[in-house]
Structure 1
Amino acid sequence: MAPLPDLFKTWFAKRGWSLHPHQQAMLDRSTDSALLLIAPTGGGKTLAGFLPTLVDLADGKHQGLHTLYISPLKALAADIKRNLRTPVDEMRLPIRIEDRTGDTPASRKKRQRADPPHILLTTPESLALLTSYEDAARTFEGLKRVVVDEIHALSESKRGDQLMLALSRLQSICPGLKRVGLSATVEDPAAIASLLARHPDPCDILLADPGPDPDIAMLETPQAPPWAGGGAAYAIAAVMDQIRQHNTTLIFHNTRAQAEIFFHNLWLANDDALPIGIHHGSLDRQQRARVEGAMQRGELRAIVCTGSLDLGIDWGDVDLVIQVGAPKNVKRLVQRIGRANHRYNAPSKALLVPANRFEVVECLAALQAAFAHDLDGDSRGPGPRDVLCQHILIRACAGPFDASELYTEVITTGAYAKLSREDFDACLNFCATGGYALRAYDQWQRLLQRPDGQWQLRDPRASQLIRMNIGTIQDSDTLKVRMKRARGGKPLGEVEEGFAASLSPGDTFLIGGQIVRFEGLRDMTVEVSRHKGRKPKVAVFSGTKFATSTQLSQRILAMFAQDDWPELPDHTRNWLHLQRQMSELPRANSLLIESFPHDGREHACIYGFAGRNAQQTLGLLLTKRMEELGLAPLGFVATDYATLIWGLEPLISAGPLFDIKALRDGLDTWLMGNAVMKRTFRASASIAGLIQRNTPRSRKSGRQATMSSDIIYDTLAKYDPDHLLLDITRQEAMRGLVDFGRIEEMIARVGPRINLQRLPRVTPLAAPLFLEVGRTPVAGAAQERLLAEETERLMQAAGLAN
């Protein structure tokens, strides 16, 4: 065992602490080239990650940067900085700790490059920027350790790919660099370890005692959930009761729109005037900081939030987590549960609030998976080439490079380990010329090869533009929202450009928990005034809808195979039994399709359980096939578990619809001229450096960037259909927005076993999808009553009663 210095022993003793076994193990194994620590929330994994650094720096001999800490969130980096200062200050260690994020002043950033602190806390984007400077080798000289916190979150996105490419660069500068990964929630530790390590070097996994299982259940409410919708307004009173009974409650939502609406309804029911805040990524940064500060000081009884608080910020006195809406992903649920009772060996307490009747089933499946420690996650596939293109441009900013050396460096990154030299050269050629159809334009002539074979920027001034556009996060097109004042009032946050374009003066919407009235647009800013109305006409965000994970869908299908469901409330059990009497429940090894007439139209409901994106794509492809077969489809709607199509002709035979080759051909044809493809192209083109949103003079609006990317897309599709970026776009669209892989998995799973049920009327399981069709924002009691009457009529038609 590596001994703990006396100074540290004394400090631990004064606090009444002793080293946890995994903290001692991290100290013992500080010389490992790569080590992944998986420890429960509250288990002191951050201290475990930093303990070897603090011990190594205690003698004051090291000069310059020693340890780099990477966090997915700026707020988490700031939180870790505060926490690290405690042992450093109390033991009077000669250690400088600083953070570097988008919020750091430019003067401090410049000084950090020349005189870096011993410990630098940063984000993937800021690290990539640091590696782009000519003095990067001097800045990182002497770097010994990199600590990647919440590595599971980074592993799921292109931010993680960019980070690991940056680490491959650092490893070339500092060959002895040690890598440490920290996580509390990992479904496949070996996959994360291979991501962290320098390929093909090994990475050992250190598993801490997981501690007690969480205390989780569904919230019991006197009123049954509605048949459709995502607001969970029925549970407001029950949630308020839980807030009163606990010190601090985090109330998680899957979308920002739902968080805003729930927060508004919560305030209307807050008769005790309890202090409650709201936190999500579209709020003004200062407002988010005020909420975070109030939480840390224990001034709030509850905070309504989204994924902005998923990760490991230590909120202290949180003793309850409430998840509103089905979590869609077991790993996300476990991560959020861990925010409560942020202490070692203390069980976290959480309640799930299904937003509608089907989510009761999904929540039960998620609970069972959490109890079984069965986490979910999909393989991400090979490293994305648009990120690689950006990395090549970043490397060129730092000075001339040899292509073979850079290729050798890149394939030490796990996600790019199987990258062929041909694919690497294609990315390099794109960075140099823009590709065949664009090589005549100077703006895309960015690299040149020198007589000695090395590559460099054609114009050194291009480095400024490249640095201004570093990053893989694709902001939605947003406009700032401010109170209307002569010189610009208080900033409130941001709304999507498309949403702003739909507003007329006098319209009201929610932002930051308050109702505001739209006054007009000025200088690309949405100007608003306070509004005293108790109900806004429209919600503020469309929000990102998570797709239910494949593993969770499989659990639901397995549950449907049971004879009964004693764990479910009576209203949901009766619903499923009635479905079984009228038709049948979907099964894992076959595809259930129900065909029935309703309201003078023919309907087909396909229960694919493939996730929202895939079911949406399935609707597009099947309606196209139905059109070709003369079935006259009129439209469709999709949820995570089913696609409902309506039209003029009944579906009598389903086999011809599910020819995988015909579906793929239909997808390729549809994609090439569709807005989904253009949106995906725009994102990849921005990451790869073909389109710059930020320039030294201004930032392009979303509309300007869309026009630029659409023109380039149409040009390439016509004159260079095999262009690298079009190939990248096809792969990204198939994997992401349309999720065609899940459709292929579904068809492979069911094979020829397609069960078409021709029925006389709408079924209990299909009925809620009709409410998805007509669910639009409504205002006024009359329209609400009409909607309620339509809901009742539908449910009676399906043999159901509330």
Structure 2
Amino acid sequence: MTELPVSLKRWFSKRGWTLHPHQRAMLDRTGEAALLLIAPTGGGKTLAGFLPTLAELGAAPGPGLHTLYVSPLKALAADIKRNLRTPIDEAGLAIRVEDRTGDTPSSRKKRQRADPPHILLTTPESLALLTSYEDAPRMFAGLQRVIVDEIHALAESKRGDQLMLALARLQGMCPGLRRVGLSATVEDPQAIARLLARHPDPCDILLADPGPDPDISMLVTDEAPPWSGGGAKYAIPAVLEQVRRHRTTLIFHNTRAQAEIFFHNLWLANDDGLPIGIHHGSLDRQQREKVEAAMVAGQLRAIVCTGSLDLGIDWGDVDLVIQVGAPKNVKRLVQRIGRANHRYNAPSKAILVPANRFEVVECVAALEAARAHQLDGDPRGPGPRDVLCQHILIAACSGPFETDALYAEMTSAGAYANLSRDQFDACLEFCATGGYALRAYDQWQRLQQLPDGRWQLRDPRAAQRIRQNIGTIQDTDTLKVRWRGRGGAPLGEIEEGFAASLTKGDTFLIGGQIVRYEGLREMTVEVTRDPGRKPKIATFMGTKFSTSTQLSHRILRMFRQDNWPDLPPHTAQWLALQRKVSRLPEPGRLLVETFPRDGRQQLVAYGFAGRNAQQTLGLLLTKRMEEMGLAPMGFVSTDYATLIWGLDAVTDPAPLFDIAALEAGVDQWLAGNAVMKRTFRASATIAGLIERNIGGQRKTGRQATMSSDILYDTLLKYDPDHLLMQITREEAMRGLVDFARIREMAERVGDRIDHVVLDRVTPLAAPLFLEAGRVPVNGLADERLLEEEVTRLLNDSGLAQIEVKPRWRVPY
């Protein structure tokens, strides 16, 4: 067993602390090449990850970088730095600890490369940038350990792919490098272990005692939830009562806009003047830091927040977590629950607040899954090739490289283990020339081959531009918001599209305040205070979650019960009425209801495939209906169903759901759709074809969109099989369109479609008529309605004998 320094042992003893079993195990297994620790929130897993480092440096604190710590959040890296400094300083250890993120001053960054600390805390983007410098081998020469914290969060995104490619590069510089992964919520430990380890090397898994089950329940209110919506305004009095009963409460929301609305309503009802704050990623950094400091100091009774507070930062004395809105994902719920009672073997306390009637069912299903320790998560598949292209350019920045060596390095990263040599060569060709359709343009001639076969940058000056654009995070284009006047304080950011919709005098919410739009000055939105009017809501960027596949299946299984004693009476009665007048959806079957309403024929398909997939299903079904002459007029989708309205009734829905026809339809639809252009822009930016940052200046969203749209149209016409067009289709199908969920639904259902024909709307369909985001279909129905209206006018005027020809229309 590796021994801790005597001074550190004394420090533990002075505080009355003893090491937990998993922390001792980490010291016992310090020599392993790859080790994944899964420990509950509050179990000291971050300290466990650092104990071998402190032991080794305490025994022999030599010069140079010993341990690299990588976190998904800049704030988490800063928090860990504060927490590490306490035992190091009080135990008198000669260990330097520094962080390096986008907020680190350039002078310190330059000094860190020349004289790195013993422990460097950073993010995936900053690490990728460090590996791009020519002096990277010297900086990392003594590196012995890498700690990846909250690895589950990185594993779900391209940031994780970028990180693992960077670790593969480090492993080449430091063959003896040991890797440690830390997480509290992992649904598939073996999959995370394969991601962490150098392929094909093994990775051991250390499971800590999970501790007591959390105390989780659903909020019971006198008022029933509304039929639709996500604001949960009805629950404000009950939430305030819970805040009064606890020291500090985190109130989580799934979107930033919902957090703003809830905070505003909570503040209006806060007659006691309880100190309440708001925290999300679109707020100004200084405002976020002010809230964080107040939390640590115990000055706030409640914080309305989003995923910005999901991860392992220890924010003061939080003793209650409230999740407003169905969590959509059990793993996310468990992660958020862990923010309360952030201590080892202390049960966390959490309350779920459904925002509408259907979310009551989803919340109960999520509670059951959490209590059964059944986490959810879908496999991500092979590593994306746009990240691979960026890594090739990063490698070129650091100096000439051999293709065989770089290919071997990349395939040692788990997500790219099955990368073929042809796929690698295609990425290399793209990085070198831009591809067939673009090779005539100098700006994309970035690499050249040397006589000895190695590759390097054609122009060394290109390295600076490549470094300025490193990263995989694709923020929605935003504009800064400031108070009007010279030196006006910043408030945060709003999306560029929302800003374009504002006219002088419009009001909106940001940071919990109602502000009045005064104008745009030097690409900054200027506002003044205007608390007296009903605000618009800013369309904040951020993830919009879909209900997971596993949670959807659990809901369908709940529907098979004879009754629902775990549901509130109003919801149980609602489901019972649905079963009486129609039927409830079942696992392995697809329920389709058709009925008339408001002079239109309605079709509801209960696919339970998640919002993105149900939205895509609506587009594909209306396209199929248009082809069949059924005159659809529009649709709306939720996580569980798609409602389509039109002029003609669907008598046989089975042909609409033929998977081959749906797949062909999505290919045709994607080819010229705005979704593809948006996806192309993101992938082209990551792959290095489009530069958002040039000479320290960032292109506006409009500039980036124009250049990417021109490129997309050019490639679609002249080189439709271009590498980036292939990547774009893969990304669109996997992300925005989520066609895999539609395919899963089709395979699960087969030809088992339950078509119920009714004469009126059903209980389960009723909330769909209140949903926002209704999508019109401009097609055959428009023609027929126009023809009917013209015919009526002609009949009224006695001119009906004149032939009426339908107007020309663009094909669907």
Instruction: Give me the TM-score of the superposition, normalised by structure 1.
Output: 0.96
Alignment of 1:136-147 (within 5 A): 136-147=136-147
Alignment of 1:258-337 (within 5 A): 258-337=258-337
Alignment of 1:91-240 (within 5 A): 91-240=91-240
Q: Report how far residue 675 of structure 1 moved.
A: 0.3
Task: Letter of the 2:606 partner, please give it.
Answer: Y
Alpha-carbon separation, structure 2, partners of 1:576 and 1:14:
59
Q: Give deviations 1:636-693, integer Å, cap 9, x for gaps.
A: 0000000000000011001111111111111111101000010000000000000000
Q: What residue number does 2:255 align with? A: 255
Alpha-carbon separation, structure 1, partners of 2:61 and 2:282:
44
Q: What residue number does 1:548 align with? A: 547
Moved beyond 4 Å, runs of 4+: 773-776
Q: What residue number does 1:655 align with? A: 654
Q: What residue number does 1:502 align with? A: 501
Q: Report how far residue 543 of structure 1 moved.
A: 5.1
Q: What residue number does 1:52 align with? A: 52
Q: Give deviations 1:435-479, integer Å, cap 9, x for gaps.
A: 000000000000000001000000000001000000000010100
Alpha-carbon separation, structure 2, partners of 1:606 and 1:441:
49
Task: Letter of the 1:365 partner, please give it.
Answer: A
Alignment of 1:373-772 (within 5 A): 373-485=373-485, 487-533=486-532, 535-541=534-540, 544-696=543-695, 698-772=697-771
Q: What residue number does 1:794 align with? A: none
Three-state SS of the structure 1 residue aligned to 2:59 is: coil
Alpha-carbon separation, structure 2, partners of 1:182 and 1:441:
46
Task: Letter of the 2:286 partner, please give it.
Answer: Q
Q: Residues 60 and 94 of structure 1 are in contact (CA less than 8 Å); yes or no, is this contact kept in structure 2?
A: no
Q: Residues 35 and 203 of structure 1 are in contact (CA less than 8 Å); yes or no, is this contact kept in structure 2?
A: yes
Q: What residue number does 1:791 align with? A: none
Alpha-carbon separation, structure 1, partners of 2:9 and 2:111:
35
Q: Report how far residue 775 of structure 1 moved.
A: 8.4
Q: Give deviations 1:285-316, integer Å, cap 9, x for gaps.
A: 11111111111111111100000010000013
Q: Give deviations 1:748-770, integer Å, cap 9, x for gaps.
A: 10101011111010000000000
Alpha-carbon separation, structure 1, partners of 2:131 and 2:275:
44
Alpha-carbon separation, structure 1, partners of 2:531 and 2:648:
50
Q: What residue number does 1:793 align with? A: none
Q: Residues 261 and 539 of structure 1 are in contact (CA less than 8 Å); yes or no, is this contact kept in structure 2?
A: no
Alpha-carbon separation, structure 2, partners of 1:212 and 1:589:
35
Alpha-carbon separation, structure 2, partners of 1:542 and 1:732:
19
Pair 1:70-2:70 in alignment: yes
Evaluate the alpha carbon distance shift between residue 440 and residue 539 of structure 1 in structure 2; reply closer, same or farther with a 3 A threshold: closer
Q: Report how far residue 773 of structure 1 moved.
A: 4.7
Task: Letter of the 1:285 partner, please give it.
Answer: R
Q: What residue number does 1:787 align with? A: none
Q: Give deviations 1:39-76, integer Å, cap 9, x for gaps.
A: 00110111100000011111344210000000000000
Q: Residues 510 and 540 of structure 1 are in contact (CA less than 8 Å); yes or no, is this contact kept in structure 2?
A: no
Q: What residue number does 1:780 align with? A: none
Task: Letter of the 2:454 partner, please give it.
Answer: Q
Q: Give deviations 1:341-366, integer Å, cap 9, x for gaps.
A: 00000000000000000000000000
Q: Residues 252 and 306 of structure 1 are in contact (CA less than 8 Å); yes or no, is this contact kept in structure 2?
A: yes
Q: Between Structure 1 and Structure 2, how many residues are aligned?
A: 775
Alpha-carbon separation, structure 2, partners of 1:424 and 1:31:
33
Three-state SS of the structure 1 residue aligned to 2:146 is: strand
Pair 1:33-2:72 in alignment: no
Pair 1:361-2:361 in alignment: yes
Task: Letter of the 2:432 partner, please give it.
Answer: A
Alpha-carbon separation, structure 2, partners of 1:775 and 1:679:
21
Q: Give deviations 1:692-729, integer Å, cap 9, x for gaps.
A: 00000521101110000000000000000110000000
Alpha-carbon separation, structure 2, partners of 1:508 and 1:25:
57
Alpha-carbon separation, structure 1, partners of 2:683 and 2:87:
44
Alignment of 1:782-793 (within 5 A): none
Q: Report how far residue 6 of structure 1 moved.
A: 2.7
Q: Give deviations 1:582-601, integer Å, cap 9, x for gaps.
A: 00000011100000000110
Three-state SS of the structure 1 residue aligned to 2:470 is: coil
Instruction: Give me the TM-score of the superposition, normalised by structure 2.
Output: 0.95
Task: Letter of the 1:510 partner, please give it.
Answer: L
Task: Letter of the 1:608 partner, please give it.
Answer: G
Q: Report how far residue 534 of structure 1 moved.
A: 5.2
Three-state SS of the structure 2 residue aligned to 1:593 is: strand
Alpha-carbon separation, structure 1, partners of 2:177 and 2:128:
17
Q: Residues 603 and 645 of structure 2 are in contact (CA less than 8 Å); yes or no, is this contact kept in structure 1?
A: yes
Q: Residues 41 and 339 of structure 2 are in contact (CA less than 8 Å); yes or no, is this contact kept in structure 1?
A: yes
Q: Residues 476 and 541 of structure 2 are in contact (CA less than 8 Å); yes or no, is this contact kept in structure 1?
A: no
Task: Letter of the 1:427 partner, please give it.
Answer: C
Task: Letter of the 2:141 partner, please give it.
Answer: E
Task: Letter of the 1:500 partner, please give it.
Answer: A
Alpha-carbon separation, structure 2, partners of 1:515 and 1:282:
15
Alpha-carbon separation, structure 2, partners of 1:305 and 1:697:
32
Task: Letter of the 1:564 partner, please give it.
Answer: N
Alpha-carbon separation, structure 2, partners of 1:66 and 1:356:
52
Three-state SS of the structure 1 residue aligned to 2:651 is: coil
Q: Residues 495 and 538 of structure 2 are in contact (CA less than 8 Å); yes or no, is this contact kept in structure 1?
A: no
Alpha-carbon separation, structure 2, partners of 1:705 and 1:208:
47
Evaluate the alpha carbon distance shift between residue 697 and residue 468 of structure 1 in structure 2; reply closer, same or farther with a 3 A threshold: closer
Q: Residues 596 and 604 of structure 1 are in contact (CA less than 8 Å); yes or no, is this contact kept in structure 2?
A: yes
Q: Residues 338 and 348 of structure 2 are in contact (CA less than 8 Å); yes or no, is this contact kept in structure 1?
A: yes
Three-state SS of the structure 2 residue aligned to 1:452 is: coil
Q: Residues 511 and 540 of structure 1 are in contact (CA less than 8 Å); yes or no, is this contact kept in structure 2?
A: no
Q: Report how far residue 5 of structure 1 moved.
A: 3.7
Three-state SS of the structure 1 residue aligned to 2:502 is: coil
Evaluate the alpha carbon distance shift between residue 773 and residue 344 of structure 1 in structure 2; reply closer, same or farther with a 3 A threshold: closer
Q: What residue number does 2:780 align with? A: none
Alpha-carbon separation, structure 1, partners of 2:608 and 2:649:
23
Q: Residues 61 and 94 of structure 2 are in contact (CA less than 8 Å); yes or no, is this contact kept in structure 1?
A: no
Alpha-carbon separation, structure 2, partners of 1:697 and 1:549:
40
Q: Residues 282 and 541 of structure 2 are in contact (CA less than 8 Å); yes or no, is this contact kept in structure 1?
A: no
C-alpha RMSD of the superposition:
1.0
Alpha-carbon separation, structure 1, partners of 2:180 and 2:536:
50
Q: What residue number does 1:796 align with? A: none
Q: Residues 509 and 540 of structure 1 are in contact (CA less than 8 Å); yes or no, is this contact kept in structure 2?
A: no
Alpha-carbon separation, structure 1, partners of 2:158 and 2:773:
36
Evaluate the alpha carbon distance shift between residue 775 and residue 737 of structure 1 in structure 2; reply closer, same or farther with a 3 A threshold: closer
Alpha-carbon separation, structure 2, partners of 1:539 and 1:453:
53
Alpha-carbon separation, structure 2, partners of 1:31 and 1:105:
35
Pair 1:21-2:21 in alignment: yes
Alpha-carbon separation, structure 2, partners of 1:2 and 1:64:
21
Q: Give deviations 1:63-118, integer Å, cap 9, x for gaps.
A: 10000000000000000000000100110100000000000000000000000000
Identity of aligned residues (%): 78
Q: Residues 2 and 30 of structure 2 are in contact (CA less than 8 Å); yes or no, is this contact kept in structure 1?
A: no
Q: Report how far residue 532 of structure 1 moved.
A: 2.3
